[in-house]
Amino acid sequence: MNDLRNYSLVTGAYWGFTLTDGALRMLVLLHFHQLGYTPIQIALLFLLYEFFGVITNLIGGWLGSHFGLKSTLFAGLSLQAAALVMLALLDQSWSTAFSVTYVMASQALSGIAKDLTKMSSKSAIKQLVPADAESTLFRWVALLTGSKNALKGAGFFLGGMLLTWIGFRGALLLMAAGLVVILISAVINLPQEMGRAKQKVKFAHILAKDRNINLLSAARLFLFGSRDIWFVVALPIFLATSLHWSHNQIGGFLALWVIGYGAMQALAPTLLKNFLGNNPPRGGSARNAAFLLAGLTAIIAISVHLNLDPRLAIIGGLALFGLLFAINSSIHSYLILAYAHKDQVAMDVGFYYMANASGRLIGTILSGIIFQFAGLTGCLWVSMLFLLAAATISMQLPPKNPWAKS
C-alpha cells in the first residue's frame, strides 16, 4: 500500500511539473511573439533550456544516488517555481538584449528543473516495484511516461488560456503557487532515503556504465534526434508556409499530437500484449519497433516529395508516426529501468536521459539547418537514417533483461 501511495505522490508531482512546463513553453512563445520578437530571438530563449538538460542529466544521477531521489525531486520542483517567479518579474521597459538574456537564464533554471524532476520520478519507480515484477514495472513506467506527455500537450492549451484570462505575470505566479503546494506534499510524505545509494558513489563513476546501458543510451540519442529533426523547427514552418495554417491551427495540431502520443505511450503495454503476451519488452522489441518507424518515415518522405496530398501525408503520416514513436519510447523507458542496477538507478537513468537530451539538442539544431537547405523532405530522410542507426544499435541489446544483476 505504501508503494502505491509513494508512486501516486511521485506521479502527481511529475504531472504538476509537466503541466507548468508545457504551459510555460506556450506562454513564452505567445507572449514574446506578441511583443514583436523575431523567430530567431524566440528560439534563443530556449537554447539554454535544452543545453542545461544535457548537463543536468549527466550529473543529476550522481546527485540522486548521493543525496536521494526525494532531495533531487524537491530541488527540481523548487527550481521550476523559482524560474516561474523570476520570469514574472520581467519588465517590458528593459532592452531587448537584456530581456532575452534574462529569459534565457530563467529557461536555463527551468531546463535544470525539468530533468531533475524527470530523472527523480522515473528512477523512483524502480525503487517502488519489487525486483521480480517486470510486467508491473512496464505498466507503471508506461502510465507515468504516457500521462506526462499527454499533460504536456494539455499544458500548451493551459498556457494559452491563462495568458488570455489573467495575463503573463498572473499565469506565472499562479503556476508557481501550485508547484509550491505539490512540493510541500511530496516533501512531507515521501521516504527520505528513496533512491540513495547504500555505498558512497564517486563522481568519477557518472560515465562508468555497463554495455547494455551504453547501447540503449546511444539508441535513445538517435531515436529522439529522429523526432526533433522534423518536429521542432521544420514542421511548424512547413505548415505555415506550404499549407498556410494559422498560428492557432499549428499550435492546436502540435498540442493534439503530443496528447495523442502520450495516450499511446500509456496504452503501450496493452497494445504490445498482442505480440508479446504477458512478457515485458526485450532488446529485440526495441530493434523491431525502430525498423518499423524508419520504414514509415521513408514512406512519409516519399509522399511529401511526390506532392501526394500533403495534408494526408503530413496529418495521417504523423499520426502513425506518433503511434509507433510512442511504442518505441515506452519500450526504451522500460528497458533502462530493467537494465539499471537498483542501488545506483539514479545514476544509470540520469546517464540515459543525458543521451536523450543530447539527441533532442542535436535534432533541434539539425532541424533548422536541414530544413533551410533541403526542406521537410530532407529532414524526414535524415530522420529515417537516425532511426536506422537506433535499430542497428538495438540489435546488440541482450535477448533477456538482466534483472538478476539489479
- Which has more confidence, 125 or 172? 172
Q: What is the mean pLDDT of residues 162-174?
A: 88
* Percentage with pLDDT > 90 across the chain: 18
CA dihedral 332, 337, 339, 342 (to 10 degrees): 170
CA distance 106 to 192: 29
Which class for 315: exposed (0-12), middle (13-18), buried (19 or more C-beta within 10 A)? middle
Which set of grid coordinates corresponds to residue 257?
A: 499530437
On average, the pLDDT of the chain sits at: 81
Q: What is the mean pLDDT of residues 246-251?
A: 72
Residue 192: predicted pLDDT: 64
Q: Is the pLDDT of residue 323 over 50?
A: yes
Q: What is the DSSP letter of 202?
A: P
pTM: 0.75
Pick the closest to residue 143 from 159, 157, 128, 161 (CA basis): 128
Residue 405: predicted pLDDT: 42
* Domains in the chain: boundaries: 2-405
Pick the closest to residue 394 from 332, 340, 349 (CA basis): 332
Q: What is the pLDDT confidence band of residue 297, given thresholds at 50, 70 and 90?
A: very high
Highest mean pLDDT among 29-33, 40-44, 153-157, 276-280: 153-157
pLDDT in tens, 179-200: 999 888 877 877 666 555 555 5
Amino acid in position 26: M
Distance spanning both ends of the chain, measured CA to CA = 23
Pick the closest to residue 296 from 268, 328, 274, 265 (CA basis): 328
Residue 404: predicted pLDDT: 41
Residue 209: predicted pLDDT: 64
Residue 390: predicted pLDDT: 97
Residue 381: predicted pLDDT: 96
Residue 198: predicted pLDDT: 55
**Is domain 2-405 annotated with CATH 1.20.1250.20?**
yes
Q: Is the pLDDT of residue 203 over 70?
A: no
